[in-house]
Structure 1
Amino acid sequence: MNRNESLVKLENEQFDICIIGGGASGAGCALDAVLRGYKVALIDKSDFASETSSRSTKLIHGGVRYLEQAFKNLDFAQLKQVRHGLEERHIVLNNAPHLARPLALMTPVSSWIEGLYFSIGLRMYDWFATTDTLPKSKWLKKEQVLSKIPTLNKAKLHSAVMYYDGQLDDARYCLALAQSASEAGATVANYIEVKGFEKDEKGKLNGVQITDKQSTKEFTVRAKLVINCTGPFSDKIRHFANTSLPGRIRPSKGVHVVLPYEVLNSDHAMLIPKTPDGRVVFAIPFEGSMLLGTTDTDSNDVENESKLNKGEVDYLVSTLNPYLADKIDISKIKAGFGGLRPLLSADPNKSTKTLLRDHEIEIDAVSGLVSLLGGKWTTYRLMAKDTIDQADHIFGQTNECSTAKHMLVGGANYDFDSWKFLAKDFNLPDDISQHLVKKYGCRAGEVAKLTAFNEPLKERLNSQYPYIRAEVVYTVRHEMAVIPRDVLARRIRLEITDWKATLQVLPMVAELMATELGWDKAEKERHITEYARLLEHFMAEATTTEVK
């Protein structure tokens, strides 16, 4: 992906479809549309997956909670949601095997009655998953559970039901979608902000007025059809197109706390099935740490980034503590993050916890804007298919969707054991070689090659992590990283797992990016100062601010 080349095309060429929003749904739509033969532009006001799509629980799942609610409330819409999620789960796993993999989850129980209840429920979950080969659920004895998660509270543990879902690196998976769309012919660019629309004599959209946030240059992207895939921000784009449209999005804030890996000391995740507010909470190993989340609260603020506050930290920690032999030391929290779910609701009095994570395709009869509303990560491909099916209908075409079997960038011939060749050929430590293969797949060698004639690029960014300097150079040259946060939050995931380490490596990352992007000293220092200030704000909020 070359941003400068994309900008020239965006300004000078005519597109069939312009997709606004570079999250999972937008990038998924771009890939589907370009594979169907359309000339496609994909733009985002920030970086790819910079909002909701990088702030998930990192699970690919049908939704155990939805299944339980479906049977409790005889709600067939919930069952449909579970079925769709489980049908798509195996596709997400298969299409990027370097970025998504099976994950075993434990559901601890305190009695045989609870064990029977969850065992039956998770067997039904298995039964709905007819299209994949993940292992089936098992009811494990106490000793078996403790052998897998040794830090659990023995006194309160009776047994546990183990089941399987998928786990993904959400930001890099989204990036792989955008890269795959780009390599299939789409014109892709980040940091492009929509300011409004141009319309033809019938009032239909035919141009997207944008500002390049890096140069402040303004121009119009010409397109026959515009698709709005901006998640929690969808109403803003809808109102740009037609001010009379009613609001449809009900944003819900969800946060995660990041704790040391040793809290569970396990590669198995854990599902906490009962919380005071009726949600489920997950404790999941990720990038050498442990994610704990999530919450579900109404949020009317879509302009400011969602942050983790102390009240939310206390809630999540107090939810996990009863299951642990040793209580969590709050001072050891490493990081955290918040995001907004783009829930759909016509009833402002309904709790966000009761709203389905389903999607809807809206076509505005006045402006012609197509909006993909709602949805969740696991079903991004299905959401994109439904959207581009509508584009086909508008264009009077019948094209086949081929994304179900389209391998994403890095996934071809993936073999995790190839890390051994990487270690040998480039004299890289085992953990670094394994990390590169997991994140770049079959293109890990391209990152490693940068170190062949530049030994300093082998150096770790931080001694505790496998991330190396070569990755910064590679992500700028090939993955459209524009600012340090693109690298540290989304190309590698250091920001969401360790705030202090991110602060420590920031000057080094900025220096490498300055060399690649031609920043002078003042611009480099500005990037360092702005990002450091943001990280320090996150750290302060998580330790001093209560829930409002």
Structure 2
Amino acid sequence: MNRNESLLRLKNEHFDICIIGAGASGAGCALDAVLRGYKVALIDRKDFASETSSRSTKLIHGGVRYLEQAFKNLDFAQLKQVRHGLEERHIVLNNAPHLARPLALMTPVNSWIEGLYFSIGLRMYDWFATNDSLPKSKWLKKEEVLAKMPTLNRSKLHSAVMYYDGQLDDARYCLALSTSASEAGAAVANYIEVSGFEKSQDGKLNGVQVRDTQSEEEFTINTKIVINCTGPFSDKIRHFANSALQSRIRPSKGVHVVLPYEVLNSENAMLIPKTPDGRVVFAIPFEGSMLLGTTDTDSQDIVNEPVLNKKEVDYLVNTLNPYLDKEIDISKIKAGYGGLRPLLSADPHKSTKTLLRDHEIEIDKVSGLVSLLGGKWTTYRLMAKDTIDQADLIFGKSNECKTADHLLTGGANFDYNSWKFLVKDFNLPEDVSKHLVSKYGSRASEIGKLVRDNPALNEKLDSNYPYIKAEIIYSVRKEMAITPRDILARRIRLEITDWYTTLKCLPEVADLMGEELGWSSTLKEKNILEYSQEIKQFMATAAGELAV
């Protein structure tokens, strides 16, 4: 992806569809639309997946909790959610095998009755997962459980039920969608903020007024249709188009705390099925750490970034502690992050945890704005298909959706064992080679070529992690990274797994980026200062040292 080339296109060409928001749903829509033959523009006011789509629990799942609620409450809408999620799960796994993989999850139980209950429920979950290659659930004896997860409380543990879902690197998966759309012909650019719309004489949208936040230049993107894929910020775009529209989005804040891998010391994840507020909590290995989450609280604030606070840390840690042989040392917390779910509700008094993670496509009759509202990561492709099906109807066409078996960037000819060739051909360390293959897939050799041309780029950013300097160069040249946070939070996932190491690596990353992008020393220092202040504030808020 080349941002300058995309900007020229955005300023000078006329598009069939302009998509606002480059998270999972927007990038998914862009790929679907361009594969159907439309001329497509994809823009975001920040970076790709900079909001909700990079702050998930990293699971691809149908929703065990939804299945339980469906049967307890005879709620067929919940059942439909599970079916859609499980149908899409194998597609998400197959289309980017380097970024998504099966994950075993264990649910510890304290009695045979609990074990039977969860075993029956998860067998039903398996039954709904048609056309799926993941292993089926099974009931494990206490000794089998402890062999897989040795840090559990032995005195309380009776057994556990193990089942499988998928895990993904959400930010890089979204980036792969955006890159795939770009390579198929879409004009794709980040840091393009919408300020308003232009309309035809009959009141229909025909232009998107935007500002390039990097140059402050303002211009208009000419388009026949505008699709709003801005998640929790959807109402703002809807009201730009038509101020009379009723608000539809109920933002819900969910946070994760990141702990050392040794807390579970397992490559398997854990599902905690009982919490005081009726949610489920997951403890999941990710990037050498362990994610613990999530929460579900109303949030009226969509202006400030949602962050982890001390009360939320305590809630999550106290939820996991009863299952562990040794209580968590809160001082060992490595990082944390928050995000906003774009829940749909017409009832402001309804609890967010009872709201469906379903989606809806709204077409405003006055302005013609198409809005994709609600949804979740697992069903992003289905959401995009439904949205572009509506675009087809508007254009009077009937195009085939081609995304079900479309391999994303890096997925073609992927072979995890190709890490051995990186070691042999480019003299890369084994841990670095495995990391590169699992993030860049069949394009990992492009990182190797950078190292071959400049051996200094083989140096790790930090000795405890497999991230190397060549990735910074690649991210700027090929992945449209503009700021240090683009790289440290989303191209590599260091910010969400280790705040201290992020601060340590920041000056080196800024040096490399500044040289590539031609930054002045003043601009480089500004980038370092602003990002380091953000990280320090995250740390202080999580420790309870700042008012929230």
After the TM superposition, which residues 243-254 of structure 1 pair with which residues of structure 2 at under 5 Å, given as runs? 243-254=243-254
Alignment of 1:333-352 (within 5 A): 333-352=333-352
- Counterpart contact for 1:48–1:174, Cα < 8 Å: yes
8 Å CA contact 1:311, 1:546 repeated in 2: no
Distance in 1 (CA, whole Å) between partners of 2:165 and 2:175 is: 22
Could you tell me which residue of structure 1 aligns to residue 42 of structure 2?
42
1:131, distance to aligned residue in structure 2 (A): 1.5
In angstroms, what is the RMSD of aligned CA positions?
A: 0.7
Alignment of 1:119-198 (within 5 A): 119-198=119-198
- Deviation, 1:547, is 9.0
CA contact 1:6–1:187 (8 Å) conserved in 2: yes
Is the contact between residue 540 and residue 546 of structure 2 (CA under 8 Å) also seen in structure 1? Answer: no
Determine the C-alpha separation between the residues in 1 that align with 2:223 and 2:448.
Answer: 40
Distance 1:520 1:76 in 2: 58
Q: Is the 8 A contact 1:413 1:442 kept in 2?
A: yes
Q: State how 1:285-434 maps to structure 2 within 5 Å.
A: 285-434=285-434
Q: What is the distance in 1 between the residues matched to 2:529 and 2:117?
A: 53
1:508 matched residue in structure 2 = 508
1:462 alignment partner in structure 2: 462
> For 1:79 and 1:266, how far apart are their aligned partners in 2?
31
Match of 2:235 in 1: 235
- 1:258 maps to a residue whose letter is V
State the one-letter code of the partner of 2:416.
F
The 3-state SS of whatever aligns with 1:522 is helix
CA drift of 1:180 comes to 0.2
User: Unaligned 5+ residue runs, structure 2?
Assistant: none
Residue in 1 that maps onto 2:89: 89
1:400-432: per-residue Cα shift (whole Å, max 9, x none)?
Answer: 001000000000011000000101111111000
Per-residue displacement from partner, 1:12-46 (whole Å, max 9, x unpaired)? 10000000000000000000000000000000000
Q: Is the 8 A contact 1:311 1:545 kept in 2?
A: no
Moved over 3 A (4+): 545-548
Distance 1:468 1:8 in 2: 32
Q: Tell me if 1:72 matches 2:77.
A: no
1:499 aligns to what? Answer: 499
Which whole-Å CA distance do the structure 2 matches of 1:350 and 1:131 have between them? Answer: 35
Give the match's secondary structure for 1:386.
Answer: helix
User: Does the CA contact (< 8 Å) of 2:309 and 2:543 recur in 1?
Assistant: yes
Separation of aligned partners in 2, 1:507 and 1:163: 43
Looking at structure 1, the residues matched to 421 and 216 of structure 2 have their Cα atoms a distance apart, in angstroms, of: 45
CA distance in 2, matches of 1:73, 1:242: 37
SS in 2 for 1:450: helix
1:341 alignment partner, SS class: strand
Partner residue in 2 for 1:116 = 116
- The equivalent residue for 1:530 is 530
TM-score of the pair, normalised by structure 1: 1.00
Deviation at 1:520, TM superposition (A): 1.0
Listed one character per residue, the Cα deviations across residues 515-537 of structure 1 (whole Å, up to 9, x for unaligned) are 10000111100000000000000
User: Which residue identity is paired with 1:113?
Assistant: I
For the residue of structure 2 that corresponds to 1:322, the secondary structure is helix
Asked whether 1:475 is paired with 2:480, we answer no
* Deviation of the 1:546 alpha carbon: 8.5
- Secondary structure of the residue aligned to 2:451 is coil
For residues 429 and 157 of structure 1, the distance between their equivalents in structure 2, rounded to whole angstroms, comes to 40
Rounded Cα–Cα distance in structure 1 between residues aligned with 2:88 and 2:339: 23
Provide the secondary structure at the position in 1 that maps to 2:387.
Answer: helix
Alpha-carbon deviations, 1:332-360, whole Å to 9, x = none?
A: 00000000000000001100000000000
Residue 490 of structure 1: how far off its partner (Å): 0.2
**What amino acid maps onto 2:117 in structure 1?**
Y
- 2:8 aligned partner: 8
Question: In the alignment, is the contact (CA less than 8 A) between 2:541 and 2:547 conserved in 1?
Answer: no
Q: Distance in 2 between matches of 1:148 and 1:488?
A: 31
| Identity percentage of aligned residues | 79
CA–CA distance in structure 2, aligned partners of residues 432 and 275 of structure 1: 38
Mapped partners of 2:404, 2:510: distance in 1: 38
Deviations along 1:39-69, whole A, 9 cap, x unmatched? Answer: 0000000000000000000000000000000
Q: TM-score, normalised by structure 2?
A: 1.00
One-letter code of the match for 2:48? F
Q: Give the whole-Å Cα distance in 1 for the aligned partners of 2:90 and 2:454.
A: 40
2:544 alignment partner AA: T
1:173-212 CA-partner distances (Å, limit 9, x unpaired):
0000000000000000000000000000000000000000
Q: Deviations over 1:464-517 (max 9, x none)?
A: 000000000000000000000000000000000000000000000000000100
**Structure 1 contact 310–547 (Cα < 8 Å) conserved:** no
Alpha-carbon distance in structure 1 between the residues aligned to 2:277 and 2:547: 15
2:452 partner SS: coil
Tell me the CA shift for residue 448 of structure 1: 1.0
Task: Assess if the C-alpha contact under 8 Å between 2:61 and 2:165 holds in 1.
Answer: yes
Looking at structure 2, the residues matched to 11 and 5 of structure 1 have their Cα atoms a distance apart, in angstroms, of 10
Q: What's 1:262 paired with?
A: 262
Cα distance in 1 between the residues matched to 2:344 and 2:131: 28
Structure 1 residue 453, shift from structure 2 partner: 2.2
CA contact (8 A) 1:27 1:42 kept: yes
Provide the C-alpha distance between the structure 2 equivalents of 1:513 and 1:274, rounded to a whole number of angstroms.
46
2:543 partner SS: helix
1:437 maps to 437
Between the aligned partners of 1:21 and 1:284, the Cα distance in structure 2 is: 28
* 1:309–1:545 contact (8 Å) kept in structure 2: no
Rounded Cα–Cα distance in structure 2 between residues aligned with 1:302 and 1:221: 26
**SS in structure 1 opposite 2:360?**
strand
One-letter amino acid matched to 2:350: K
SS of residue paired to 1:240: helix
2:104 matched to 1:104? yes
